[in-house]
Amino acid sequence: MLNKPITFHWMWRRHWQISDSIENLDLDGILRMAQELDGANVKSVLLPYGPGGIDFSLVIKDALEKTNQLIMTIALPAYGVSPDYAAKILETLNRFAPGRIGVNLVAGRWGDEGNGPSEKLVIDHYMHDPSLIDTLEKRVAISEVWMDKVMALMKNHKHKTHMAVVGSSDTTIRIANKHCEYIYIDDNLLRRPEQYAKITYPKPILIVDPLIIEKPEDVNNVVYDDNAPPRKQFHHIVGTHNEVVAAIKNIAEKFDIYDFMIHTDQKDISKLLKLVKEFDKMPSDNKGEMEHFDISNDDRRPEGSTLHHEVFERIGIKENNLKVFSNFISPEECRAIIQSIKDVNPSSEKPVQFSPDGDPLTFRKDWDINPYIDKYKNIVNGVIEAEYPIRVLVRSAKIAEWTKNDVYDLHINDLGINDFNNMSATIYLNDDFEGGEYHFPAQNKTFRPKVGDLIIFPGNMYYNHIISRITSGSRYTIPLWYTFI
């Protein structure tokens, strides 16, 4: 059972026909946004700041006056607004709706650092020496001084302003601990427990984009808003309504996070608004039980209930559910697989390690399309069904390269935040590297791979695990994930 209620926040989005350009500003859209979120019991909406965009603080008066409880959080950049002017803006806005104004202090990370158009616009129009703000690190440093001065000016304000920052650097966390009620974070910080533990005072707000579907294949039919900025879409929480509820509660309990901000480009947000509005009406003692899909006419269906948790119960929590198959692939085949990707660009490069300021330091390369993947995902499927009392369907398979200093801290593959990773398998393609072992704390087992080995284990919480830091060489694997059917 949760110790506290879950609170939801929202990130502004263009589907309300709000343009962030002055020429196409739609004041009615801002009002519609506020009323829709207010009606769904969303606590706050974050209104962003972008170079060349509008100043939301000047156009939200009606939205404040015609809603009941929604907090309007405006983003302010330390490099663009003086502390004195910022304090005056906040005092004025609080007179329209006392206690319902928030500030998100931004340093300016637009995704084009290094003389991209957004950064260039800011630097070109900066009134002082541009070298003072020409890197993100310098803008973060200015933000700390700015916040000290703003808070001093606001000390005698009659009404409270809800202060927040976004980020994970030491400086950002220091600002948050000193001055802020909230700090916006993403899931990358949860993979860095030492850094996450530095947050002592503010409430963390985890940025999420839940995807509510009725059946697994629906993930291929998601429609995104035409006005959304171009970016790769990724949903950490995927499942039916009840599964998404269970996943959010699991995250809340595991990380002591009770505030979530929905930041989505999905065109249809009706399911998300329903989730937020009805969340506190859902049973809080479901212990993470997960609703599965009705496949009663499928002859592959295992006997009995198809609920995920019941299938996991059938597997049990025995130590021998960790299965290792030596020499599953010959060394010659492994070398051929590695060679097949040498001259092929990876499908993606995912950040694995981050600097104290939140910048990616190392990357894992993934190849999603390869004939060897198609071959072995089906073979491993058969092995799983022969070794466990279940039936499965492959959900994801790839070839992956981990390099020096890559490490994956303690995690669970199937927590409702990684789709349906009910069963996990890894084929090791080489062993000429140091580190990169699997360690399972609950079973006190460490697996040091050899070339051609296959390891299989359930993806639930009883098999949380660590992949140790690679100290030399590159680790090549075929990671595979399977869904119960």
The CATH number that applies at residue 197 is 3.20.20.30
Q: What is the CATH number of the domain that holds 409?
A: 2.60.120.620
The answer as to whether 304 is a domain residue is: no
Q: Which of 281, 296, 330 is the last residue of a domain?
A: 281
pLDDT for 18 equals 56
pLDDT for 306 equals 41
Residue 344 and residue 448 in one domain: yes
Q: Which of 281, 304, 327 is the last residue of a domain?
A: 281
Residue 11 and residue 133 in one domain: yes
The answer as to whether 297 is a domain residue is: no
pLDDT for 432 equals 93
Q: Which of 234, 266, 281 is the last residue of a domain?
A: 281
The answer as to whether 111 is a domain residue is: yes
Residue 238 and residue 374 in one domain: no
The answer as to whether 299 is a domain residue is: no
Residue 445 to residue 483: CA distance in whole angstroms: 25
Tell me the average pLDDT of the chain: 81
Residue 276 and residue 393 in one domain: no
- Domain of 49 in residue numbering reads as 7-281
Residue 45 and residue 176 in one domain: yes
The answer as to whether 159 is a domain residue is: yes
The answer as to whether 163 is a domain residue is: yes
Mean pLDDT by 10 residues, the chain (485 residues): 84 67 68 91 88 75 91 89 92 91 81 63 83 85 92 90 92 94 89 86 93 81 78 74 86 89 92 90 42 31 44 77 90 94 86 60 83 91 89 89 75 51 90 89 84 90 80 93 85
Residue 39 and residue 175 in one domain: yes
The answer as to whether 291 is a domain residue is: no
Residue 317 and residue 397 in one domain: yes
Residue 271 and residue 325 in one domain: no
pTM for this entry: 0.62
Residue 186 and residue 92 in one domain: yes
Residue 344 and residue 230 in one domain: no
Residue 224 and residue 334 in one domain: no
The answer as to whether 142 is a domain residue is: yes
pLDDT for 358 equals 54
Residue 321 and residue 465 in one domain: yes
Instruction: Quote the number of domains for the chain.
Output: 2
